[in-house]
Chains A and B, each alone.
Chain A
């Protein structure tokens, strides 16, 4: 009879996640007990305070990097902490976008177009469940790139996904589309997590262990049956590639980006990408690195298709949110080259790229929330023409974000692309380098087309206008723009910091 050993938990190291979860629970209690009039403001305060405290507690434990916690199911290392910090910063600026309650349905349970819905809007019978849902998702995202155990990884994946499925359906306008987005996101997400779980099962069958270290040991010792390893990597990758929106598994992303409330899209597009790529980098760098001959060719093919497909299809889009969705698919391809690189440069470059891209994405969607007519947001690109003449500042900010996506020098996107492609080149994948640069050029074409449309075409008179942004949205856009250009002009401190900090504990 083996004695039961009680598990140890390192609370200080787990604090960033536990604080976010606690904040989410407080949010649920507020939703249940606080008077309606006080909810929105107190929820926003609690959410921002929670994220700020969580970031502070992460900074406090930064020196205890390279330790495992919670019975080796979570690993705190430099790369994990940088990813967590990126997720928290991106979440903070994205939550400020959520603060604009106009964009969310008052009561999600009411039928679209019913009297009940009208009454709830008129009387402002608002529920504010978006804040706790966001915090639950953030907690899952914080756990995802740190998990070094397949069970934890799976639970974190679901923890970040389930709230996002619901958030996607909460738009105030075009509610049918929003609900449809939620349904698609949910069904395809559940489908992919079933693949993910099957991957977990085969990896367990291969290595007789659920920890990353155990799988790594089995790969080195080649003790298991290679078929199981191959199946495990394939199925697990499907789950992860779905989350990042890489090409054969991208079908959900344009629809969900378009249908979900724009503020939610911003949060989802930016933060999910950081979390999912973080987890992907960790599992491929830590567990599968020595078996690279089994997965690298397939992943290279996926990266190439993703880059080219995302860039080409984006050209044909007439809707700004769909265009940004395809652009995010192309970026997933660029980011995959960081995973394929499998070297320290690739890791550093990926982390920088994720942060820079995430911040610019939140900013870009922040601008999209501002362009409206009487029926809500205007996402048809034709109606954006001449925006620069009417609202030069907003249009300039959007142009800046697009230039960052395109990777034009003096924006963060250039530094990110430059470093990630040099990492790919270093690792010998010339094909990635060439395709990456070419598809960046294709992508630059449609970004610049939008800029031309905004600044050099005459405005159309159809009631499209830029609303005066609320103070929260202003902060989001200004912060994102400042970060995007600051990282483009003077990236050295952050790059040096990432280079000295980022590493995975094996």
Chain B
């Protein structure tokens, strides 16, 4: 199978994630879309690692996983705090900061 297809797949996943961030309204879903984008980047890295024949890309992918885990910790903490004070995780409800 042509290895370029993995690049197309990851670009597609990245786009789905980016579109999701823009159109979805629930903070958790938005956050999941960001995670999808990060994992699309991981797939790109691993594919390039295979194409280039060096291991650096796979190492970056490991770092990304760790960083993504840290991001989940911080992100969920913030989202849960907002949910507790507003009873809603919709990012449209959070609109005090408009002028």
Binding site for B on A (CB under 8 A): 108-109, 111-112, 150-151, 154-155, 158, 162, 165-166, 169, 175-177, 179-184, 186-187, 190-191, 193-195, 197-198, 200-202, 204-205, 208-210, 254-255, 258-259, 318-319, 322
Asked whether B57 lies within 8 Å of A204 as measured between CB atoms, the reply is yes
| Complex CA–CA separation, A180 to B81 (angstroms) | 10
| Complex CA–CA separation, A190 to B69 (angstroms) | 12
Closest to A319 in B: B99
Asked whether B48 lies within 8 Å of A191 as measured between CB atoms, the reply is no
Residue among A165, A175, A180, A194 having the largest count of chain B Cβ atoms under 10 Å: A194
Contact of A184 among B37, B97, B99 (CB under 8 A): B97
Closest to A162 in B: B74
Asked whether B96 lies within 8 Å of A177 as measured between CB atoms, the reply is yes
**B67 contacts the other chain (CB 8 A):** yes
Closest to A211 in B: B56
Residue among B38, B44, B64, B78 having the largest count of chain A Cβ atoms under 10 Å: B78
| Complex CA–CA separation, A391 to B28 (angstroms) | 47
| A186 / chain B contacts, CB cutoff of 8 Å | 74-75, 78
| B77 / chain A contacts, CB cutoff of 8 Å | 166
Asked whether B31 lies within 8 Å of A179 as measured between CB atoms, the reply is no
| A184 / chain B contacts, CB cutoff of 8 Å | 91, 94, 97
| B47 / chain A contacts, CB cutoff of 8 Å | 205
Interface size class of B (residues with CB under 8 A): 35 or more
| B23 / chain A contacts, CB cutoff of 8 Å | none
Given A175-B85, A194-B34; A259-B60 close (CB under 8 Å): no
Asked whether B52 lies within 8 Å of A200 as measured between CB atoms, the reply is no
Residue among B17, B30, B56 having the largest count of chain A Cβ atoms under 10 Å: B56
**B82 contacts the other chain (CB 8 A):** yes
Top 10 nearest A-B pairs (CB, nearest first) are A194-B37, A205-B48, A208-B52, A201-B44, A255-B97, A197-B41, A180-B94, A190-B34, A198-B41, A201-B45
The smallest beta-carbon distance between A111 and chain B, in angstroms, is 5
Asked whether B71 lies within 8 Å of A154 as measured between CB atoms, the reply is no
**B70 contacts the other chain (CB 8 A):** yes
Contact of A151 among B30, B63, B97 (CB under 8 A): B63
| A154 / chain B contacts, CB cutoff of 8 Å | 60, 63-64, 67
Given A151-B60, A155-B63; A198-B74 close (CB under 8 Å): no
Asked whether A204 lies within 8 Å of B78 as measured between CB atoms, the reply is no
| B78 / chain A contacts, CB cutoff of 8 Å | 165-166, 169, 179, 182-183, 186
Binary A-proximity of B36-72 (CB < 8 A = 1, otherwise 0): 0110111011011101111011011001100100110
Asked whether B40 lies within 8 Å of A183 as measured between CB atoms, the reply is no
